[in-house]
Amino acid sequence: MSHQTESPPTNQSEIWYTADLRRYGRGIGGVAAFLAVWWVGALLTQPSYLLPTPEESARAFVELFATSTAVSAPFLGPELVLPTGLAHLVETLYHYIPGLLSGAVCGIGLGLTMGWSGRLDDWLQPLIRLLRPIPPLAWIVFAIVWFGIHHTGAAFIVFIGAFWINFYGAYGGVEGVDSELTDAASTLGVDRDLSMLKLVALPSAAPQILTGFRTSIGRCWMIVVGAELFGAPGVGYEIINASNNLAMATSVAYMLLISLAFLCMDVGFRLLERRALAWR
């Protein structure tokens, strides 16, 4: 009688580790393929300044931090001297962060209220459908007239973009609350609307609300560049300024700076999101 030895079961953590390595390997391969296509395209493009090579763009990116620029810091003192790339990024953050946060707070607040109150939804839904199709950048002329060409006007444009994304995230999350949850809460004695919204609707809608905010983080980076086209200081203005001088490598360098800023914010928010939704 032959005896077959059973191989020990593979550790689950080893399986996950192998899967992660494969996923990261595919990601690195995709980036390498993109850089190769970019490099070939840059070599074939004439005149050459129209599309800089990855090497030229990387060199321009390093040069952003080789010089220093003074930037006004309203909350940190009269002036800060920072590397040029970081200084312009700080200028962008002066209107990006207030616009993003205020738009998210207002959008989530109105979305929760309208999603929960059918009466308020009936009153405001026609107005929402009227205003929603208007792109945030269409409000630039009003931003200039109302607030001037500075941080406040750009923050207003970012506010509009963040508002709608977060509004529909919260609105859809509350509308999708399972009726069985509200029935169970009513059985347990939760009968007030405010208590039901706080104890049932908000936790149930939290995943969609957080997804909406995470989406607005990336979308508002796209909006803020357009908001700076009319002269507000920041990275977007520097992209246009460099392209006007045919310094396309510098434009690409600032685009890479925006990508890195978004990646840092996205990774940080994903970590917070996992902790906030650890109860799921």
- The CA distances from residue 239 to 77, 144, 203, in Å, are 27, 20, 41
Token look-up 């199709």 returns: 133
pLDDT at 251: 93
Number of Cβ atoms within 10 Å of the Cβ of 215 = 15
Rounded Cα–Cα distance for residues 44 and 41 (Å):
5
DSSP per-residue letters across 180-206: HHHHHHHHTT--SHHHHIIIIIHHHHH
Tell me how far apart the alpha carbons of residues 160 and 216 are, in angstroms, rounded to a whole number.
11
Residue-wise pLDDT tens digits, 25-42: 888 888 899 999 999 998
pLDDT in tens, 163-199: 999 999 999 888 776 666 665 666 655 666 666 666 6
pLDDT of residue 79: 76
The pLDDT value recorded for residue 1 is 47
Least Cα distance to 204 among 169, 177, 166, 171 occurs for 177
Say what the pLDDT of residue 14 is. 67
CA distances from residue 3 to 73, 88, 245 in whole angstroms, order as listed: 76, 72, 79
- Maximum alpha-carbon separation in the chain: 92
Which residues 6+ apart lie within 8 Å of 244 measured at CB? none
List the CATH code of the domain at 60-276. Answer: 1.10.3720.10
Taking the CA atoms of residue 176, residue 178, residue 184 and residue 186 in that order, the dihedral angle to the nearest 10 degrees is 30
Residues of the chain whose pLDDT is less than 50?
1-2, 5-9
Residue carrying the six token digits 């580790």: 17
